[in-house]
Every structure is written in structure tokens, then in C-alpha cells.
Amino acid sequence: MNYYTPFLEVTKTILDAGGEDLKKCYQCGTCTAVCPWGSVREFSPRYIFKLAQHGLEGYEGDELWLCSTCKTCVDRCPRGVGIIDVFTSMRSIIAQTGLIPPTLRSVLGSINSNGNPWAGKREERNIWAKELGLKNFSGETTEYLYFSCCAPSYDPRTKKIAVATARVLKEAGVDFGIFGKEESCCGESIKKTGDNTTYEKLLNSNISLFNSKGVKKIIAQSPHCLYTFRNEYPAHSGNYEQVHYTQVLAELIKGGKLKPKKEFRKKVTYHDPCYLGRHSGIYEEPRDILKSVPGLEFAEMIRIKEQSFCCGGGGARMWMETPKEERFGVMRIKEALSVGANVIATACPYCIQMLEDGRTALGVEDRIEVMDISEILSATMF
């Protein structure tokens, strides 16, 4: 026979680690019912929170690592609980004890030795840009820093999107430069693993680099980097004007400085990345770009904008194993197919990878393509 009693000291450690909001939860179940995991398996953030409110064993189980930080629940929570913050703080407590999932351990190792989570060499950081003739960033001569995210340097699929973006930006006459191997991962996903020490190291190394080189404005390829520059860097004296590349391109198109030339005769739907949409409130610019492309037929899916369905790659899920039948990417591809799209466009390197994976897992490579907005634009330009 087990006898249960609350263990509020445990609760207090969670509150102290940044999980203050845990106190607000009144157990309505909204988070569980809106969470994308509910479509593929059982997962109740509410239940984990109740355990944590009591300080009972069980909150620290494997499920703690499921949250992809998509923010669907945060936007709907009637008590305004910062659910992601609560999860992150619980993860940070576990991280301190070293009990984080093994795959994440190697990611953190790679960050510590190479400054990126992909187990790629630091020297190869800008390999994607080799043939493009881009200039190195310097505060005196360059307006924007273009921050490509780590993925394009080490992942062949996402390499293409950085290339496409850089070519289009160049064509439009945007004055930008890049950093070489000194630059590190923005740290967004690392924070979500709960390893605050590694995370802060990254933050500080990037900020001192940016500040010493006189960075004022940043164009981010990935919404995850954008989010971090916007919400985390300023508190560590990293104050920059940050924009997502779709914002820059939409503005150029609107002002007539960039014009999609060739026809793109395909039916395209758009997947809102969580970190671009819900986290950053950018919904219209990517759509405006798509709608400006001649010949392109645009179709919306059912779950769009604030209600977009997560690809599953956030919250460091990118580096964790998910059984095939539980992958969100698969569900999203199905939804895209249901509206008759033959291209699913998006604007985030993680989404690209997760959707590509979904497409392969479903075996529908012949029916639908996954493309970044920049790739579509580039296809109509060159």
C-alpha cells in the first residue's frame, strides 16, 4: 500500500527554477485537449502540472521531454500559465541531475565543442555559402547581418534554403554580410533542453561577437533564431533590430524592388511555423509573398495562423526519436494533401526537415513537395 502526501519542497524547486506560473494552473485540461500530441498519443501537461503542484514523483518522467514548445496551449490557457516556461524549468532541474535523454546529451556535447547541435565541425559553419561570394559582416560597411541558423551548414536539405534566401536578398540589392566560424548556434533549442549553463555560454559568445563587430540589424533565416534575438538577447545586452527574412522580402515586393518573374504553376499551401506565427505574430508576410508569385494557386489548410498545427521539431524534439505513427509532420502532410496542394511551403529550417520527413514516411514524394518560401521565390527569379 502506498500512502501519498504532497511534497511541497519539490514544488518549490520548480517554482524557483522559473516555473512560478505552475501556481496559476486550475486544472481545466485545456492544454491537454489542444496539444498536438493528443492527436497521436496520450499526453497530459495538466496531469504533469498537478503532480508538480503536489511535488509528487512522476512529473520528471519521459513525457516531460515531449513538449515541442508550439505554444498552442499557452495561447488558450484560461489562467495565462506560461506552460512552456514551466516545462523548461522542470527540464532544467532534471538537466542539473544529468538525467536528460541520451540523444540530447550528444547534442549538448556538440554545442560545447563546436557551437552547433548537429555534430558538425565549427570550421564548416559557412560551407553552404562557399560559392555565393557573400561578404563578411562588418559593422562599418554592412547594414544587415544575415544569420542562417546552424542547420544549413550541416544538413544538405536546409542548405538549399539558405542559398535561396541569400541569392534573392542579393538580387534585391539588400546590403548584408555573414559571419564565419566565430558565430554559434542562437541557443533557442538549447534553452528548451533545460541546460542553462550551455545555453548562457552560447548567448554570451554570440552577443560579444555581435557587439564587437557592430551588429545593429539582423535578418534571421530561422524563426527560432528570430525569437531568441527578440526575446532573450536584449536582457543580456544584445540589442539588435531583428527581422525575419520573409518580412524583408515581403516589404521589397510591396515596394516594387523585387519582382517574381517566372510563373510557378503549382497549388501551394502554407504551413505557419510555430515560432514565426504564434511566437512572433508573423502571419501575413509569407502569404503576401506567395500571393505575389505569378501562376501560383494558393490554398489554405484547415488549421492555420494562430491555430497552426506544429511540425514537431521545436523544444529540442528535432534531436529526439519519435515513432513514425506519432510524427506531426506526417499529419501535416496529410492535411496539405486534403486541400489538393502539390507544394507545402513554409519558412523555417526545422519545419522543412520535419515536413520532408513526413512526406517520406508517408511515401508521397510524387504527390507533394516541401519548399521554403525563399526557394519558391528563387525558382521564379533565376
27 binds ligand SF4 (CB under 6 A): yes
Query: Site for other proteins (CB under 8 A): which residue of 60, 272, 335, 356?
Result: 335
CA-to-CA distance for 153 and 189, rounded, in angstroms? 17
Q: Are the C-beta atoms of 333 and 371 separated by less than 8 Å? A: no
Q: Are the C-beta atoms of 351 and 273 separated by less than 8 Å? A: yes
281 binds other proteins (CB under 8 A): no
Write out the three cell numbers for 150.
Answer: 546552424
Q: Least separation, in Å, of the C-beta of 79 and other proteins?
A: 6
Name the 3-class secondary structure at 268. Answer: strand
Q: Which of 190, 31, 216 is nearest to 108 (CA)?
A: 190
Q: Least separation, in Å, of the C-beta of 204 and ligand SF4?
A: 27
Stretch that binds other proteins, among 43-51, 109-117, 279-287, 340-348 (CB under 8 A): 43-51
204 binds other proteins (CB under 8 A): no
- Phi/psi of residue 367, nearest 5 degrees: -100, -25
Q: Which parts of 62-101 interact with other proteins (CB under 8 A)?
A: 75-80
**61, interface contact from other proteins, ligand SF4, none, CB < 5-8 Å by kind:** none
User: How many amino acids of this chain bind other proteins (CB under 8 A)?
Assistant: 26
28 binds ligand SF4 (CB under 6 A): yes
Query: Site for ligand SF4 (CB under 6 A): which residue of 11, 37, 120, 293?
Result: 37
77 binds ligand SF4 (CB under 6 A): yes
Question: CB-hemisphere CA count at 13 Å for 170?
Answer: 15
67 binds ligand SF4 (CB under 6 A): yes
**83, interface contact from ligand SF4, other proteins, none, CB < 5-8 Å by kind:** ligand SF4
Q: Which of 16, 75, 10 is nearest to 48 (CA)?
A: 10
Q: Least separation, in Å, of the C-beta of 82 and ligand SF4?
A: 9
Helical segments of the chain, H only:
8-14, 30-34, 45-54, 72-76, 83-96, 102-114, 151-154, 156-171, 188-193, 196-213, 223-231, 245-254, 284-291, 328-338, 349-362, 373-381
298 forms beta bridges with 268
**380, interface contact from ligand SF4, other proteins, none, CB < 5-8 Å by kind:** none
| Between 256 and 363, CB nearer to other proteins | 363
| Between 167 and 283, CB nearer to other proteins | 283
**335, interface contact from ligand SF4, other proteins, none, CB < 5-8 Å by kind:** other proteins
Residues 6+ apart with CB under 8 A from 197: none
45 binds ligand SF4 (CB under 6 A): yes
Q: CA dihedral in degrees (102, 105, 107, 110; nearest 10)?
A: -140
Q: Is 279 exposed, middle or buried (0-12, 13-18, 19+ CB in 10 A)?
A: buried
378 binds ligand SF4 (CB under 6 A): no
CA-to-CA distance for 352 and 51, rounded, in angstroms? 36
72 binds ligand SF4 (CB under 6 A): yes
| Between 83 and 293, CB nearer to ligand SF4 | 83
Q: Least separation, in Å, of the C-beta of 23 and other proteins?
A: 14
| Alpha-carbon distances, residue 127 vs 132, 163, 220, 246, 356 (angstroms) | 10, 10, 18, 23, 22
Q: Least separation, in Å, of the C-beta of 34 and ligand SF4?
A: 6
Q: Is 208 exposed, middle or buried (0-12, 13-18, 19+ CB in 10 A)?
A: middle
Query: Site for other proteins (CB under 8 A): which residue of 122, 267, 303, 326?
Result: 303
104 forms beta bridges with none
Query: Site for ligand SF4 (CB under 6 A): which residue of 19, 49, 225, 311?
Result: 49
| Between 77 and 248, CB nearer to ligand SF4 | 77
Q: Are the C-beta atoms of 264 and 296 separated by less than 8 Å? A: yes
CA-to-CA distance for 146 and 37, rounded, in angstroms? 34
**44, interface contact from other proteins, ligand SF4, none, CB < 5-8 Å by kind:** other proteins
In the complex, which residues of this chain contact other proteins (CB under 8 A)? Answer: 26-30, 32-34, 38-39, 42, 44, 46-47, 75-80, 302-303, 307, 331, 335, 338
Q: Enumerate binding residues for ligand SF4 (CB under 6 A).
A: 25-31, 34-37, 45-46, 49, 67-73, 77-79, 81, 83-84
